[in-house]
Amino acid sequence: MAFVVTSRCVGEKWAECVEVCPVDCIKEGSNMYFIDPDVCIDCGACASACPTEAIYESSEVPREEQAFIRYNKEFFSF
Ligand code: SF4
Ligand code: SF4
């Protein structure tokens, strides 16, 4: 399991989440940030810091945001 960045991050560039991540696994994409699921240690710090509440634990991602689980994973597979 890992935490997942979802649609409310799109276009957001303050990156409070990056500042608090203890393992530096949140990276900037072209229009949003992504969490590397293989490195995330599930501490939850990013979710607490995110002002748009864009970050969910993977088992709690809303149905309409489910595609972002794949987007986060794919971002780190290239
Ligand atoms: S804090 Fe939230 S909105 Fe800001 S970059 Fe991180 S995930 Fe995106
Ligand atoms: S849950 Fe913790 S380790 Fe995972 S991305 Fe967020 S701050 Fe980083």
Q: What is the rounded distance in angstroms from the CA atom of residue 45 to the CA atom of residue 50?
A: 9
CATH 3.40.50.300 for domain 3-75: no
pLDDT at 23: 98
Assess whether the C-beta atom of 46 lies below 6 angstroms from ligand 2: yes
Domain edges within the chain: 3-75
One pLDDT digit (tens) per residue for the chain, 78 residues: 799 999 999 998 789 999 999 999 999 999 999 999 999 999 999 999 999 999 999 999 999 999 999 999 999 997
Q: What is the rounded distance in angstroms from the CA atom of residue 5 to the CA atom of residue 57?
A: 9
SS3 of the chain: the string is CCEEECHHHCCCCCCHHHHHCCCCCEEECCCCEEECCCCCCCCCHHHHHCCCCCEEEHHHCCHHHCHHHHHHHHHCCC
Residue 41 Cα: closest atom of ligand 2? 3
Q: What is the pTM of this model?
A: 0.96
